[in-house]
Chain A
Amino acid sequence: MDEEKFDAIVVGAGPAGSAAALALARKGLTTVLIERGEYPGAKNVMGGVLYRRMLEELVPDFQDQAPLERPVVEQRIVLMHATSAVTAGFKDPGFAGPPANAFTVLRAQFDQWFAQKAEEAGAMLLCGMPVEDVVRRDGKVAGVRTFDGSELLADVVIVADGVNSLLAKKLGLRGELQPNEVALAVKQVISLPEKLVNDRFNVTSDQGVVMELMGSATAGMAGQAFLYTNRSSISIGVGCLLSEFVRTGKKPYDILEDLKQHPYVAPLIEGGEAEEYMSHMIPEGGYDTMPRVYGDGFLLCGDAAKLVNVLHREGSNLAMESGRLAAETVAFAKERGDFSAQTLKHYRDALEASFVLKDLEQYRRLPHHMEQNPALFDFYPRVLNEAAREIFTVDGTPKRQKERSAVRRILRERPMLRIARDLYGFWRTVR
């Protein structure tokens, strides 16, 4: 057996793993980055909005080199019903920067670039190598074993193998995910000429729009749909709690097709060509379902540690930040010459001190709340559409009467006290 030993092994070349490998290599640590796909990103999917701030920490001039689609200048929330939609939004071309706040990206392309940055910094990238288990020596994690039985050894293993994290399970850090703690999402990339994207979304080529769609977009299930503009394509998808799909027997791709036929959406994608269909899970259990993120000889990052902010649909930035903080902890442990849990706990402390766990802790009640309050996804979008239709229909009825009848219609279905409780409950959950 090859007894060559690395300073660090990083499992998974997604945003968390590549961030960690890049930061480690820069600090001069011998690092190997292992990816199961044919290339980084080959197995990876997100909506995908990528935020500038955390990537900038690692690659200050990434805007000049990364395969980015469009800077996001407009955010819309679309509450859909059968044929209609109530929308709210915020647009500011200033968001295009420089520096831009966020970009749309396609992960199969972005992840290749990001892993390449780690390689350029000196990390060794191994692709097509699913990791099967960790290697233990003297009760400590001392490396990994890949699918073909070969072993790689290191002082520390950074586990960034995503939502399914088979390694976290092997480490005994988490049991099986629960259906009400993960969203199952499907997505399609639909190509459209750049000029058509610009015209339909009222933007220039260096501006992009992102929409989150709720209500009939998910057939009333707890979840949301999204529609993002890329340079010359659209990313459209739907994600709902897996428990909702189990409960309703609805098929994810049927929901996606219904969404594409909705009058608010259909004209935006008309004439487009389906390029790719994909699926992925999102760990949405939040703070209270997080596994322990460190131990003797290992650290957990990104989706493997369930670092996802559901309310703000943030994940890749939390992943990158966790990867960077993990690398800092490993460098510190290397200085000390101690890779025990006691030293690696610094990583958990660093996460606590950063926005990553501050945000997740703030919203710790949200996953439970969404599951317990189906009205958010069904009743409210529907009655808002009905009320808007009534108010905007000019038919000779005096306005006061219209307003009253719109309110009465809502209260008939849900008493005032109940609505007050819903609003207070939501406010308490996210404040």
Chain B
Amino acid sequence: MKRETLEEKLYTVKFKPDAESHLVVKQPENCVACGDKHGRPCLTFCPAEVYEWEGSKLAVRFEGCLECGACRVGCPYDNIAWRYPNGPLGVTYRFG
């Protein structure tokens, strides 16, 4: 099989996006400090690349979240408030 990009992978996933984010950065200044101290690991380990560094702050693309919980656990600052999307929204696996 041809090497696939993450975008191609995510294209196969069924999402029912919530209107509000279920992922919230608690203290944005921690993300600034994290750059030098820890290299912002969430940017690389998040399996859906939900987090993107926008020069001065973290952008959170929660609509494509796979709800694994890794960002909450792996954040060096425990800086992600993590809950489930409302109702049956969010990722909906067909195979699992």
- Residue ranges of A at the interface with B (Cβ–Cβ < 8 Å): 36-38, 41-46, 48, 106-111, 127-130, 132, 147-148, 163-164, 166, 176-179, 182, 184, 186, 188-190, 233, 242-243, 245-246, 249-253, 257, 260-261, 266, 269-272, 274-281
Contact = CB atoms under 8 A, between A and B. Distances in A.
Contacts of A38: 16, 88, 92
A42 B88 contact: yes
B95 A276 contact: yes
B69 interface: yes
B70 interface: yes
Contacts, number: 149
8 contacts: A107-B95, A164-B82, A251-B44, A257-B3, A274-B4, A274-B8, A278-B13, A279-B48
Contacts of B87: 128-130, 147-148
Contact of B9 (A110, A188, A246): A188
A260 B73 CA distance: 28
A274 B13 CA distance: 10
A190 B70 contact: no
B31 interface: no
Contacts of A41: 93, 96
Given A182-B73, A184-B70, A278-B93, 4 more contacts: A108-B96, A128-B87, A166-B84, A271-B1
Most chain A CB within a 10 A radius of its CB, from B10, B16, B88, B95? B95
Nearest to B82: A164
Of all A-B residue pairs in the complex, the 8 with the closest CB atoms, nearest first, are A128-B88, A108-B96, A107-B96, A38-B88, A277-B9, A245-B45, A279-B47, A130-B84
Interface in B8-34: 8-10, 12-13, 16
B95 A109 contact: yes
A108 B94 CA distance: 6
B74 A179 contact: yes
Nearest to A37: B88
B44 A249 contact: yes
B74 A242 contact: yes
Contacts of A250: 44
A177 B73 contact: yes
Nearest to A106: B95
Given A176-B73, A245-B45, A251-B44, A190 B93 contact: no
A38 B1 CA distance: 32
A250 B93 CA distance: 25
A274 B16 CA distance: 20
B9 A179 contact: no
Contacts of B3: 257, 260-261
B92 A37 contact: yes
Contacts of A107: 93, 95-96
A108 B88 contact: no
Contact of B93 (A45, A243, A245): A45
A261 B93 CA distance: 25
Contact of B6 (A253, A260, A281): A253
Given A249-B39, A278-B66, A179 B96 contact: no
A45 B96 contact: yes
B5 to A, nearest CB: 9
Contact of A108 (B9, B10, B84, B95): B95
Given A182-B73, A184-B70, A251-B44, A257 B93 contact: no
B86 A111 contact: no
Contacts of A184: 45, 47, 68, 70, 74
A274 B1 contact: yes
Contacts of A276: 12-13, 93-96
Contact of B96 (A111, A177, A253): A111
Nearest to A163: B69
Most chain B CB within a 10 A radius of its CB, from A164, A177, A278? A278
B1 A246 contact: no
Interface in B55-81: 66-70, 72-74, 76, 78
B64 to A, nearest CB: 11
A148 B85 CA distance: 12
Contacts of A129: 87
B87 to A, nearest CB: 5
A43 B93 contact: yes
